[in-house]
Chain A
């Protein structure tokens, strides 16, 4: 079978069905199901070694799945060779051909598919990434950022139904990175392709993508719109990988249609039933640090959960906000981000405080957090027994 002869009119959707990839002695991908709608910007986020690159390589056809099927635009491509698939990749290392000029690099795919006006199209693609003036150079004569843009042009020029990007911005400095993020997003909207973007920069994923999937140990932990993922993480891993979370584990005391209540550090804490994944037994719930409020006296408010008293063990000022670390006996250390709305009146280290958050800000996880977050050495250091004694 020959190469796909026509450039795609628009992006196609991608579907992975029960994909498993077994390397000798290591299972990199485990029963992976994934579906990406056509024309979307999809980000795959996860820690190093979780299987992101392997997933992309499976989709590109550079690796064969041990089991499962891959469908692009509804047709099964599992058995197809890489050059037969309507997919192009922007490689992490760029993989520009060192023996060819920039123009030859960009027109390589077009020539293989027998596109006659490949030169015009290649120049167009180079214009898109603002590099047409360097068409005659060799890759070694370009800067890192320019090489990256050539790699992008080389892939985009083929109008693939699906464009795979493997941490294409990984090697760039922060400024160039932000600029390239904008360019990428612009190109995606302009040409309307389906982008599958791998990164381990969560900010990058959140700002660029329509949909973010968080991957861990060869599985997708959770998938959704960036805001949804942030506001309602389903697992302890996601809660801590995307931003920071305070997690508390306790026994369920009461579960109604509206809410579930559990015991945390001797107090009753409530989560809306709609935001809780489990309703009985041991349950882990969480709340984002910026949703917490600090009080110097024990508050008596409705519609909030309260923890404390605890002692402020660390205060760090970071311009827009201040980060407090509060050790609450029986609960552990809790992080609080407080916006610097009011000048002065900063709570000092050593102060005794209470914490509250609105009930609707809490979330209940599917799994149990294994260790208490932020309960590091400092908290169990000699200072703590003193705090406990004082509190009792």
Chain B
């Protein structure tokens, strides 16, 4: 019995550590191969170099694709965040008819496989005679980001005490001042989180993009097409850099949160 207990006590932590390692293996691999001194294809290890990092834009295609992905991500994030935030506020604060239909409409894009979303939009653009390009990619990305923004911002709106806005109105702020000086600053953390999520989704999207890109090449599309002949190490450099940046942001947010909680507890 004691032995069983001992085993049970360690089994879960040990398993979890293995699982974390499992999750991180491909990340480590990708980062490691960004330092590979590769010539044409980046498949086998040929020695350590920093050249890929310092000369990312030597691989011009990679750099151009990266720039396009960034541009698409920024525009799609901006529009989706604005539209989604508006919906989130309405969902929490207002009573209106068609509430369940609205919820369903927001839920379905998240419950639809990406091939269906991608091919559907492509069929629609085809029928409407719209040339595929940057615009169609952006339109597609906004579409699948909106619901995620709504979900993220809604949680924040729901946690906002309505008494704060009432206090603002009571203290002579007109509706616009109430929004910009009280509501918006308090929602900002949620809006920023939603925007980061939207950007991440847009930046990494391949399937929907592939159907609606036409001749345009985004970073994921570049990687997909290059997969057959071998990916240049510069793609690993960009992915690694983006990854490290994102992790730093997430950890910074988490740590400041933890520190603040600790300080509050100490008082």
Residues in A lying within 8 Å of B, measured CB to CB? 3-4, 60-62, 81-83, 87-89, 91, 93, 95-99, 108-109, 112-113, 140-141, 154-155, 158
Contacts and interface: CB of A to CB of B under 8 A. Distances in A.
A89 B170 contact: yes
B264 A3 contact: no
Contacts of B168: 97, 108
B173 A140 contact: no
Interface in B143-193: 161, 163-164, 166-174, 177, 181-182, 185-186
B171 A98 contact: no
A178 B154 CA distance: 41
A82 B167 CA distance: 9
B172 A109 contact: yes
A40 B182 CA distance: 33
B166 A141 contact: no
Contacts of B181: 108
A108 B165 CA distance: 13
Which 9 interchain pairs have the tightest Cβ spacing? A109-B171, A3-B172, A112-B172, A95-B167, A82-B169, A95-B163, A83-B172, A89-B170, A99-B185
A284 B163 CA distance: 43
Given A95-B167, A108-B181, A112-B173, 18 more contacts: A3-B172, A81-B169, A83-B169, A83-B170, A83-B171, A91-B163, A91-B166, A95-B163, A95-B166, A96-B167, A97-B164, A98-B186, A99-B185, A108-B168, A112-B172, A112-B174, A112-B177, A154-B171
A97 B170 contact: no
A367 B170 CA distance: 39
Nearest to B160: A98
- The residue in A60, A82, A96, A109 that gathers the most chain B C-beta atoms within 10 A of its C-beta is A82
Given A112-B177, A140-B264, A141-B267, A95 B172 contact: no
A95 B186 CA distance: 13
B171 A62 contact: no
20 contacts: A3-B172, A60-B166, A61-B169, A81-B169, A82-B170, A83-B171, A87-B170, A88-B171, A89-B170, A91-B163, A91-B167, A95-B161, A95-B166, A96-B167, A97-B168, A108-B168, A109-B171, A112-B173, A113-B172, A155-B171
